[in-house]
């Protein structure tokens, strides 16, 4: 007697599993997707509406309003690529094999594609010994590569050249360094990246421990949102070394040297005038 009962229970579980959502007998027909995850303009989107209750098969149709341009209702899923930003409201009617019907009002927000964020995990405490740092893609949509300039205080820290290495097998990195600067060209080799990824590892050594580390990071990225340029200060609030001043944007031309200003009211006998003559080109 136990075996037929166990078989019946197993068959019921299989049937319920095939139905997707577990429904109890007599459960009213409804949609579980009252809140839809946000979409991004120009990025493929898919969200199931997740019906439950009633008797399968289900039917779906939009009876009021419109989904965002570029999206369509297809077999209980909202799919497509939205082409316009905004907040959109529409009503979906759900029906079942018993000819029962119910409606659900849905809202979907379409946002602009976020720009990628590249960062370095700078320790919040003073450094006593050589410390490995990670250059990291924190977020991005179809990130393809970047030119990165990392600037630090060359009087307080030294870069360990043999420590520089790519942190992901699907990211190629080419770098060069000077005191106070590390320049890196990065490219995704196995297709665009849309998840957080370690890009590069490198080690800085404090020259006179303890030292608080501060970095300036400038990144020109290529991603789904287009080419974006960002400059961020990380760690200690200020970089003091002359070699670690405000960096130029990667790939930009150096500015022309400015002509020296004249000292107002200076004469040949005044120190200010002599200094001006010595420094003039």
Structure confidence at residue 1 (pLDDT): 43
Tens digits of per-residue pLDDT, 13-31?
Answer: 444 444 444 445 568 999 9
State which H helix or E strand residue 47 sits in. strand 45-48
Judge whether residue 112 has pLDDT over 70: yes
Structure tokens, 145: 């590569």
Q: State whether the Cα torsion 164-170-174-180 is positive or negative.
A: negative
Judge whether residue 2 has pLDDT over 90: no
Fold held by 117-244: Immunoglobulin-like (2.60.40)
Stretch(es) of the chain classified as CATH 2.60.40.10: 21-111
- What is the average pLDDT across 208-234? 95
Structure tokens, 123: 């320790």
Structure tokens, 72: 């369509």
Q: 21-111 domain in CATH 2.60.40.10?
A: yes
Extract the runs of DSSP E, i.e. beta strands, from 179-239.
Answer: 181-188, 197-206, 214-223, 226-235
Stretch(es) of the chain classified as CATH 2.60.40.680: 117-244
pTM: 0.65
């Amino acid at each position: 007697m136990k075996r037929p009962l166990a078989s019946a229970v197993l068959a019921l579980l299989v049937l319920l599993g095939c139905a997707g959502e577990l429904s109890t007998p007599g459960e009213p027909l409804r949609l579980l997707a009252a809140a839809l995850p946000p979409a991004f303009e120009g990025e493929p989107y898919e969200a199931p509406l997740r019906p439950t209750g009633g008797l399968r098969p289900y039917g779906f149709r939009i009876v009021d309003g419109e989904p965002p341009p570029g999206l369509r209702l297809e077999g209980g899923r909202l799919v497509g690529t939205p082409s316009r930003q905004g907040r959109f409201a529409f009503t979906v009617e759900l029906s079942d094999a018993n000819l029962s019907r119910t409606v659900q009002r849905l809202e979907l927000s379409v946002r602009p594609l976020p720009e990628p964020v590249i960062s370095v995990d700078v320790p919040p405490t003073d450094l006593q010994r050589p410390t490995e740092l990670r250059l990291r893609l924190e977020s991005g949509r179809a990130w393809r590569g970047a030119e990165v300039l990392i600037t630090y205080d060359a009087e307080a820290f030294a870069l360990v050249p043999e420590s520089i290495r790519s942190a992901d097998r699907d990211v190629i990195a080419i770098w060069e360094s000077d005191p106070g600067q590390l320049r890196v060209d990065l490219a995704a080799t196995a297709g665009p990246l849309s998840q957080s990824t370690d890009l590069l590892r490198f080690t800085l050594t404090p020259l006179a421990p303890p030292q608080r580390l501060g970095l300036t990071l400038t990144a020109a990225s290529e991603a789904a949102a287009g080419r974006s340029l960002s400059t961020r200060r990380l760690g200690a609030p200020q970089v003091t070394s002359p070699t670690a001043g405000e960096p130029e944007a990667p790939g930009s031309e150096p500015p022309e040297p400015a002509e020296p200003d004249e000292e107002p009211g200076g004469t040949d006998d005044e120190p200010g005038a002599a200094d001006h003559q010595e420094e003039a080109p």
